Amino acid sequence: ITIRLATVDDLQAMQNANLNNLPENYTLKYYLYHLLSWPQASFVATTTDPELVGQDIDSVKQVKKDIQYVGRGEKVVGYVLGKMNDDADTTDTTPHGHVTSLSVMRTYRRMGIADKLMRQCLYALCETYKAEYVSLHVRESNRAALHLYKDTLQFEVISIEKSYYQDGEDAYYMKKNLKLDD
Ligand code: ACO
């Protein structure tokens, strides 16, 4: 597994992974907005499929429409989409990052991939974009993600946002301080 910066060539594969893994989906335009605005803040986890290395990628795409190969047999198995806060309405003027979306394809879970993606993203938001903290929303029923954020990465629950999700589920609003002296 390789963790690397996401590029425009990965967008379709990231969107596909998101559609597979989460009910919260976004337009390609919104992915592109992330990559163009904060090109160092989003990452993909990829693996090379030995059977496909060296094959013409367009013919591969036709055969396996559900899996996104981004070139030379490389397939995207996870992604993290990160950004800096750019909400003009916010009262908090502290520069801070936000994790818009994170997911790992089912057969690649529990291998530490999400942890690695998140750490790369947090590091970039802090070092490159000078984020003092990073925030995210997570479903209160999402045990796997809550374990990752709370226990592994030491995010704190700041508040509960009632009916944050379209189906009415509440979200935990979580934060992690990124200041080096904390
Ligand atoms: N139940 C309990 N703990 C779990 C589970 C689980 N199902 N899955 C992972 N964990 C724990 C791991 O044991 C590990 O803990 P440790 O540090 O104590 O050993 C920690 O979480 C990190 O595990 P990873 O292997 O890095 O996580 P993984 O690569 O499996 O990805 C993820 C976790 C992203 C939540 C994955 O399950 C997934 O894609 N789920 C569906 C999409 C999703 O829920 N995304 C997050 C939405 S919130 C948002 O996007 C901001």
Cβ–ligand 1 distance for 115 under 6 Å, the answer yes
Task: Tell me the mean pLDDT in the region 56-64.
Answer: 52
Within 13 Å and on the Cβ side, how many CA atoms surround 36?
A: 6
Cβ–ligand 1 distance for 109 under 6 Å, the answer yes
C-alpha of residue 104 to centroid of ligand 1, in Å = 8
C-alpha of residue 43 to centroid of ligand 1, in Å = 16
48: pLDDT confidence band, cut at 50, 70 and 90? confident
> What is the distance between the alpha carbons of residues 137 and 101, in angstroms, rounded to a whole number?
9
Q: Is the predicted pLDDT of residue 142 greater than 60, yes or no?
A: yes
Worst-scoring range by mean pLDDT, 46-55, 107-116, 135-144? 46-55
Cβ–ligand 1 distance for 145 under 6 Å, the answer yes
pLDDT at 51: 64
Cβ–ligand 1 distance for 111 under 6 Å, the answer yes
Q: Is the predicted pLDDT of residue 145 greater than 60, yes or no?
A: yes
Task: Tell me the mean pLDDT in the region 139-145.
Answer: 98
Cβ–ligand 1 distance for 136 under 6 Å, the answer yes
Q: CB–CB of 74/105 below 8 Å? A: no
pLDDT tens digits for range 6-24:
999 999 999 999 999 999 9
C-alpha of residue 21 to centroid of ligand 1, in Å = 12
112 CA to centre of own chain: 14
Alpha carbon nearest to ligand 1 atom 37, residue: 144
Alpha carbon nearest to ligand 1 atom 12, residue: 110
> What is the distance between the alpha carbons of residues 80 and 109, in angstroms, rounded to a whole number?
14
Worst-scoring range by mean pLDDT, 81-90, 135-144, 148-157, 165-174? 81-90
Could you give the C-alpha distances from 126 to 58, 96, 131, in angstroms and in order? Answer: 38, 8, 5
**For the chain, what percent of residues have pLDDT higher than 90?**
78
pLDDT tens digits for range 67-102:
666 766 788 999 999 999 988 777 788 999 999 999
Q: CB–CB of 77/45 below 8 Å? A: yes
